[in-house]
Amino acid sequence: MNLETLNNEKFYINGAYIESASGEFIDVENPATEEIFAKIPSANEEDINKAVDAAYEAFPEWSKTPIDQRVALVKKLNQWIDDHQDDFDELILLELGIPIHVGHGSQVGRQIGRSDVFIEQVQNIDLETPMEGGILVREPIGVVASITPWNYPLGQIIQKVIPALVSGCTVVQKPATNTPLSAYLLAKGIDEVGFPKGVFNLVTGQGSEVGDILNKHPKVAMISYTGSLKGGAASAKAGMDTAKKVVLELGGKSPAVFIKGANIKEGVEQVLNTVYKNIGQTCSCLSRAVVTEDIYDEVLEEFLNQYENYPVGDPTDESTVVGPLSSEKQFERVKYYIEKGIEEGAELIRGEVPEKSEKGYYVKPAIFTNVKPGMTIHDEEIFGPVLSIVKVKDVDEAIKVANAVDFGLSSAVFGENEKALEVAKEIKAGECYVNTSQKGPNLPFGGYKQSGIGREGGLYGLLEYYELKSIYTK
């Protein structure tokens, strides 16, 4: 696509593209080639205040706009996204390095379905519920600061912005600095379909600076943050100075439990798809395979058989499944964890300690065996294509190991249906796939423990954007 049409060297504030007051810019790098192919403005406090003020001033009218009118605009935006899927695919390839044939469904196509669910659900919410002694009223919360990561440049924004908009909230969007162009393309769509001025605003800059200002801003009513525990904790602490509502979707170290009766071939494929297809850069990827000893040899053999289905290479090559990591920083992070796994006694049976290639941040997918709870690669989120396989004695130990980390975002169980469902109920995580890879679009997403606060997606994700008011009547 023609990048010049994005206006990515300006902010989108109050329905117009404006120059940054800071006059400073951040380079955007293609992780496959290390080429700087774009730049974005770096916001200062003056820029952010303009965006928040625009959202704050637009909120009263937008919040009172009839739901059917808000829904109609979001439907138009959905159609616009559908019409521009090729452009989103191209941008995500350039800024993230995900091959188009791999990322098209998960990175772009799936987002339209997510938006459709919000459209359906918002029309079924009872905004006024008669109760004994009065009325329970739901009202949109106000200005939402949406702070999103780089691993799903469009998807993470859709999960926050669409429910905010259909609920009657206004938004200040702050995307990741290394994958900001999908946000600019979305802003172009919002502008072209005719959303009122100030309802959606886009600012870019370093997260530690822009995020800090948004977190503390007195006119921001809610922070919706996806990213690291460190960043989420900072958002929550800063937000509490003005008692903001905070929704946090944080990290994961998700287990996939294999027990007797499992469809091993399908289970292994599901695990490897989550760990390798987005290069392990998915918070909910099933990065720990916990396998009972009675089926361990069979499961391990299947992992080794399917490993060859994930070739690494140039993301523009249609034969490539695993492209580059997102940045040099991410490359060094994954390299550290692979080295740490070897140092602590795990056995690297596939993959290698990566060496920097001439161009691009490529890492060969890794499989570790002889992994134990307490090892760094078992306990900490790597965010790269690294799978740990843990051998356990029985189902009880599998449950214990599955829960033996500080995270609780996603999980899966493969085994005889009834027993697998029992195990799923024992795993401390916000979601669990039982003998399936299909995600119910109406079910919410979010974590236990250090994986987050609140929920995204479906009805329960939508309800996060409302305040509750009790009106007492005679």
Both 120 and 40 in one domain: the answer is yes
Active centre residues (catalytic): 249, 283
Given pLDDT bands bounded at 50, 70 and 90, which one contains residue 440?
confident
Q: How far is CA 205 from the centre of its chain?
A: 19
Given pLDDT bands bounded at 50, 70 and 90, which one contains residue 28?
very high
Instruction: State how far the Cα of 382 lies from the Cα of 428, in Å rounded to an integer.
Output: 20
pLDDT value of residue 30: 97
Both 229 and 353 in one domain: the answer is no
Both 101 and 209 in one domain: the answer is yes
Burial class, 241, CB count within 10 angstroms (exposed 0-12 / middle 13-18 / buried 19+): exposed
Instruction: State how far the Cα of 53 lies from the Cα of 289, in Å rounded to an integer.
Output: 48
Confirm whether 446 is domain-assigned.
Answer: no
> What number is the average pLDDT over the span 390-404?
98
CATH classification at residue 372: 3.40.309.10
The tens digit of pLDDT for each residue in 223-240 reads 999 999 999 999 999 999
Both 144 and 36 in one domain: the answer is yes
The full 3-state SS of 332-368, as one line of letters, equals: HHHHHHHHHHHHCCCEEEECCCCCCCCCCCCCCCEEE
Per the structure, the count of domains in the chain is 2
Given pLDDT bands bounded at 50, 70 and 90, which one contains residue 105?
confident
Q: Is the pLDDT of residue 1 over 80?
A: no
Given pLDDT bands bounded at 50, 70 and 90, which one contains residue 349?
very high
Please report where in the chains the tokens 């029985």 appear, as a residue: 394
> What number is the average pLDDT over the span 148-167?
96
- The pTM assigned to this predicted structure is 0.95
| Residue 198 phi, psi (nearest 5) | 85, -10
> What number is the average pLDDT over the span 74-85?
96
Q: Is the pLDDT of residue 159 over 90?
A: yes
Both 259 and 244 in one domain: the answer is no
Domain encompassing residue 419: 255-440
Q: Is the pLDDT of residue 465 over 90?
A: yes
pLDDT value of residue 4: 84
